[in-house]
Structure 1
Amino acid sequence: MVKIAVDTAGGDHGPGTTVYGASLAMRDNAGLECLFFGDQSQIEAALPGFADTSRMEIIAADEVITDEDDPLRAVRRKKDSTIVKGLKAVAEGEADAFVSAGNSGAIFAGSVSIIGQNPNVTRPASVTVLPTVSESTPHYLIIDSGANIAAKPEHLAQYGRVGSKVAEQLLQAENPRVGLLNIGSESTKGNAFTKETFQLLSADEDLNFTGNVEPHTLLGGTHEVVLTDGFTGNIMLKAVEGTAGILMHDLLEKIKANSSLAENDEKMMEDLMYSYINRYTNQDIGGGFILGIKAPVVITHGSAGEMMFKHSVEMGAELSKSIIFQR
């Protein structure tokens, strides 16, 4: 059995979404158990009729770290919070992974201080799984997607080595292609940071480093791992998700306004478009995770709905099998 510690209070929707989503994950994965951290009465009220209570445990956590809290201070002071107690359960071996839609800064700080760092990564990074249009390479990992705005070249070299191992397991990629996000594909392009990083990655014989990669090519499935600093990576992530959602919604509205489709055909078209919206805005993938700590921690969107939270729980379970998280 894989056991996931779930922060039920995190996110915009609370237990109504987190408990339901985690219950869906358990329903569809027989080898999955959940520890629910939060208000017992709220958790019990949120449990759907199909929930298998024999594979779950409710653990009272009376405090909540909100988005308004200072991350590090909150982790130190709110010892009875859903985030701190959930992370401690993972650190103490009571759970295999932690999933939350809560304060990402607090989750990151708590993960490092409570679970501890992977000795192969000097500075932990955020990893996001992004979709492509390629059938052979349907997803890729972007590292770092927001944790470190002032990374050093040696940090990205570490991300490449450890990230490749994650891609092998999570994406079933053989000899993952690693690219460095840049403004041009030529080795001479970029600033001092990217040029030095390029040299480090090129010299690493354990990496399948293909060189610089421009953002507009990634949707074609050219790489399994894309490296960048957290500032650039976060801008790219938000641009990709935001643009995809806006374009898909706009296209759907134009089709509905200008077509003479029959009602059934229009419904079929709408369902198809929403499936694309869910795919390209990460609803079908789940959250991101932290690279560089000793156990999997998945951080999903605060606005995550039931299905996105379900996929986040499933991601935590899958990551727990990765060699980089074996304690």
Structure 2
Amino acid sequence: MIRLAVDTKGGDFGPETTVYGACLAMHDNPELSFLLFGLPDEIEQAIPDFADRGRLEIISAEEEITDDHNPLKAIRKKQDSSIVKGLTAVAEGSADAFVSAGSSGAIYAGSLLHIGLMPDIKRPAAVSILPTVSKTAPNYLLIDSGANTASKPEHLVQYGKLGSDIAGQLLGVENPRVGLLNIGSEASKGNDFTKAAHQLLETSEELNFTGNVEPNVLLSGTNDVVLSDGFTGNIMLKSVEGTAEILMNDLLNNLKNDEKLDENAVKAVEDTVRSSISRYTNEDIGGGFILGIKAPVIITHGAADRTMFKHSVEIAARLADSSTFST
């Protein structure tokens, strides 16, 4: 049985989304159980009728940490918060992984303080699972997607090795192809950071390094792991998600305003457009996770709906079952 700690207070919608989404994942997986941290009355009201209450344990957490708080100060001061209690449960072995839609800064600080880093990792990184149009390689891992804005070249080698292990298990690929996000495919392209990183990655015998990869080919499925500093990676992540959202809304508006299409045709095309493009908004994948922490810590979007939170929980379950992590 996999037991996950869930911060029910995190995100824009609270328990109505987090508790319900967790219960959806539990309904599909008989091996899942949960520690639900938050306000007991709110959690109770949010538990759907179909949930197996025998696999749910509610733990009171009265305090709340928001994006307005200083992350490190809040983690140290608000010991009765759902973030601190949930991370502590993972650190003590009461839970296998932690899931939250709350303050990412506080979750990073709390993960370092309470769970700690893996031995070979100097700094944790953010990992986002992004889609491609490839049928054989439908997803890739973007590392770092926002944790460190001033990474060092040697950090990317560490991320490449650990990311390859996780890609093998999470994506089901053998000998994952590792690329370096850059402005050109040639080894000579880029700034001092990417040139130094390229040289280190190229000489690593533990990596299947394929060289530089440009943003315009990422969606083709050319790589299983794409490495970047956190500043560039976060811009890449938000560009993909934002473009997909804008394109989808623009297409749907044009469909609705097309007088040549009847209502049934509009509905059919709308459903197809939504199912296709929603993959690129991360809604179907869920959240990302922190690379380098001793146990899986999943951070999903604050605006995540029930389905997206469910998918984030499913990622947590898969990572918790991975041999890469050990508390």
Structure 1 CA distance for aligned equivalents of residues 149 and 290 of structure 2: 15
- Residue 134 of structure 2 aligns with an amino acid whose one-letter code is S
**What residue number does 2:179 align with?**
179
**What residue number does 1:134 align with?**
134
Contact 2:96/2:295 (<8 A) preserved: yes
Structure 2 CA distance for aligned equivalents of residues 143 and 159 of structure 1: 7
Q: How does 1:154-303 map to 2 (within 5 A)?
A: 154-258=154-258, 260-303=260-303
**What residue number does 2:41 align with?**
41
- Residue 9 of structure 2 aligns with an amino acid whose one-letter code is A
Contact 2:7/2:99 (<8 A) preserved: yes
Give how far 1:264 is off. 2.3
- Residue 42 of structure 1 aligns with an amino acid whose one-letter code is E
Structure 1 CA distance for aligned equivalents of residues 74 and 4 of structure 2: 23
Look up the SS of the partner of 1:310 in the other structure. Answer: helix
Question: Which one is further off, 317-326 or 251-260?
Answer: 251-260
Question: Which one is further off, 254-263 or 100-109?
Answer: 254-263
Give how far 1:121 is off. 1.0
Give how far 1:267 is off. 1.3
Q: How does 1:79-94 map to 2 (within 5 A)?
A: 79-94=79-94
**What residue number does 1:113 align with?**
113
The unaligned stretches of length 5 or more in structure 1 are none
In the alignment, structure 1 residue 305 sits paired with structure 2 residue 274 = no
Contact 1:248/1:276 (<8 A) preserved: no
- Equivalent pairs counted in the alignment come to 327
- Residue 57 of structure 2 aligns with an amino acid whose one-letter code is E
- Residue 151 of structure 2 aligns with an amino acid whose one-letter code is A
Contact 1:98/1:297 (<8 A) preserved: yes
Look up the SS of the partner of 1:33 in the other structure. Answer: strand
Structure 2 CA distance for aligned equivalents of residues 6 and 251 of structure 1: 36
Stretches of 4+ moved more than 3 A in 1?
none
Deviation string, structure 1 residues 122-171 (Cα, Å, up to 9, x no partner): 11100000001100010000000000000000000000000000000000
Deviation string, structure 1 residues 194-238 (Cα, Å, up to 9, x no partner): 001000000011100000000010000100000000000001100
Structure 1 CA distance for aligned equivalents of residues 173 and 254 of structure 2: 38
**What residue number does 2:52 align with?**
52
Give how far 1:257 is off. 1.6
Structure 1 CA distance for aligned equivalents of residues 78 and 38 of structure 2: 13
Structure 1 CA distance for aligned equivalents of residues 42 and 321 of structure 2: 31
Deviation string, structure 1 residues 215-269 (Cα, Å, up to 9, x no partner): 0100001000000000000011001100011011101211222252332222121
Give how far 1:5 is off. 0.2
Structure 2 CA distance for aligned equivalents of residues 321 and 278 of structure 1: 27
Q: Percent identical across equivalent pairs?
A: 65
- Residue 87 of structure 1 aligns with an amino acid whose one-letter code is L
Contact 1:39/1:62 (<8 A) preserved: yes
**What residue number does 2:101 align with?**
101
- Residue 13 of structure 2 aligns with an amino acid whose one-letter code is H
Cα RMSD between the aligned structures? 0.8
Structure 2 CA distance for aligned equivalents of residues 253 and 297 of structure 1: 38
Contact 2:149/2:231 (<8 A) preserved: yes
**What residue number does 2:13 align with?**
13
Contact 2:244/2:278 (<8 A) preserved: no
**What residue number does 1:144 align with?**
144
- Residue 92 of structure 1 aligns with an amino acid whose one-letter code is E
Deviation string, structure 1 residues 263-321 (Cα, Å, up to 9, x no partner): 22221211111212321100010100000010000000000000000000010000012
Structure 2 CA distance for aligned equivalents of residues 254 and 121 of structure 1: 48
TM-score (norm 1): 0.99
Question: Which one is further off, 266-275 or 203-212?
Answer: 266-275
Structure 2 CA distance for aligned equivalents of residues 256 and 176 of structure 1: 42
TM-score (norm 2): 0.99
Look up the SS of the partner of 2:22 in the other structure. Answer: helix
Structure 2 CA distance for aligned equivalents of residues 277 and 92 of structure 1: 40
